[in-house]
């Protein structure tokens, strides 16, 4: 592990540890060249010799660096320093959507719609660049003090049409939010999987609960494959019927029956908001 105070890439001085994930560690760092704080993501050294993990990290860097949108965390630089592969990203202050829901439960309708529209706008921009996030969840959605949404951690994203990033049958994603096709380890994951995961996020955001719960990750994954969700309005009767329909369309098991494009989901949310204005 890198040490606090260490300078990577000749310019990034590590300030504090922000978190550790399955394949990377994230620090707050100071870009000494531009006098700004950044989030510095380091691939864990034990994975550097593993071609699968290294390949996935490189794809993250390439995917994220291609995106430029107000609702997507900006990637400034990808580099290598003394055996460390790092990703220097925009440092965003705020809380995650997961933290907000855990603290407040179901969000007020207007607040949720504002977050939902921005989330869809950011993911639409990614999809238009040919990038599928593949791990959309509220932990990866940051809310700034000015109520702006920032989507982060395209850690398992890959360009559409690029094959071979993962071994056959390897399940990628977070069980509570993964699409049925991800839960089954299918390789032809596309933007409709992001739409499903976004639907799970919206379900939780507007009702305060997840559509599928179980004691083990495998049991949760199988519910995504086999069980129909309880309609959101059955959990919270005050939700408008059109919103209930939007969320349930996102959560169709057969992806041919979901929204086919994130931009269409975004358009329906805009219409729903306009009707309430």
Tell me the three-class secondary structure of 152-217, residue by residue.
CCCCCCEECCCCCCCCCCCCCCCCCCCCHHHHCCCCCCCHHHHHHHHHHHHHHHHHCCCCCCCCCH
Q: Do residues 179 and 132 share a domain?
A: yes
Considering the domain boundaries, does residue 2 fall inside one?
A: no
Considering the domain boundaries, does residue 223 fall inside one?
A: yes
Give the C-alpha separation, 61 to 65, whole Å: 6
pLDDT tens for the 277 residues of the chain, in order: 688 989 988 899 999 998 887 667 889 999 999 999 999 988 777 766 777 766 666 776 777 788 899 999 998 888 877 777 888 999 999 999 999 999 999 999 999 999 999 999 999 999 998 888 988 999 999 999 999 999 988 755 555 544 333 433 444 568 999 999 999 987 788 999 999 999 999 999 999 999 999 999 899 999 999 999 999 999 999 999 999 999 999 999 999 999 999 999 999 999 999 987 6
Q: Do residues 111 and 129 share a domain?
A: yes
**Taking the CB of residue 152, how many other CB atoms lie within 10 A of it?**
22
Record the pTM.
Answer: 0.88
Distances (CA, A) of 105 to 50, 142, 190: 40, 17, 30
Q: How many domains are contained in the chain?
A: 2
Q: Report the largest interatomic distance among the alpha carbons of the chain, rounded to a whole angstrom.
A: 57
Q: Do residues 133 and 249 share a domain?
A: yes
Q: Which residues belong to the active site?
A: 135
Q: Domain of 29?
A: 7-90
Which of 166, 184, 167 has its CA nearest to residue 175?
184
Name 171's Cβ contacts closer than 8 Å, sequence gap at least 6.
178, 182, 183, 185, 221
Find where tokens 């855990």 sit.
102
Are 140 and 95 contacting, i.e. CB atoms less than 8 angstroms apart? no
Find where tokens 């559409």 sit.
160
Which pairing describes strands 12-20 and 141-143: parallel, antiparallel, or unpaired? unpaired
Give the C-alpha separation, 149 to 233, whole Å: 25
Q: Environment class of residue 223 by beta-carbon count within 10 Å: exposed (0-12), middle (13-18) or buried (19+)?
A: buried
Q: Do residues 193 and 62 share a domain?
A: no
Q: Do residues 20 and 155 share a domain?
A: no
């Amino acid at each position: 592990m890198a040490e606090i105070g260490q300078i990577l890439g000749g310019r990034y001085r590590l300030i504090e540890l922000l978190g550790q994930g399955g394949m990377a560690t994230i620090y707050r760092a100071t870009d000494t060249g531009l006098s700004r704080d950044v989030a510095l993501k380091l691939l864990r050294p034990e994975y550097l010799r593993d071609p699968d993990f290294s390949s996935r990290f490189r794809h993250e860097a390439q995917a994220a660096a291609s995106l430029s949108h107000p609702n997507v965390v900006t990637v400034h630089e990808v580099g290598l320093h003394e055996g460390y592969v790092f990703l220097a990203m925009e440092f965003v202050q705020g809380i995650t959507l997961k933290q907000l829901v855990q603290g407040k439960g179901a969000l007020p309708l207007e607040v949720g719609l504002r977050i939902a529209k921005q989330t869809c706008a950011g993911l639409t921009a990614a999809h238009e660049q040919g990038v599928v996030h593949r791990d959309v969840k509220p932990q990866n959605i940051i809310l700034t003090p000015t109520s702006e949404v920032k989507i982060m951690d395209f850690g398992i994203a890959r360009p559409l049409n690029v094959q071979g990033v993962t071994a056959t049958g390897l399940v990628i994603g977070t069980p509570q939010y993964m699409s049925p096709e991800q839960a089954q380890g299918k390789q032809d994951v596309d933007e409709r999987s992001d739409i499903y995961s976004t639907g799970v996020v919206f379900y939780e955001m507007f009702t305060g609960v997840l559509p599928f719960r179980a004691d083990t990750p495998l049991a949760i994954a199988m519910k995504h494959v086999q069980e129909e969700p309880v309609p959101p309005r059955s959990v919270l009767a005050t939700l408008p019927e059109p919103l209930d329909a939007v969320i349930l369309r996102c959560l169709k098991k057969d992806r041919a029956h979901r929204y086919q494009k994130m931009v269409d989901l975004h358009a329906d949310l805009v219409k729903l908001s306009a009707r309430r204005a």
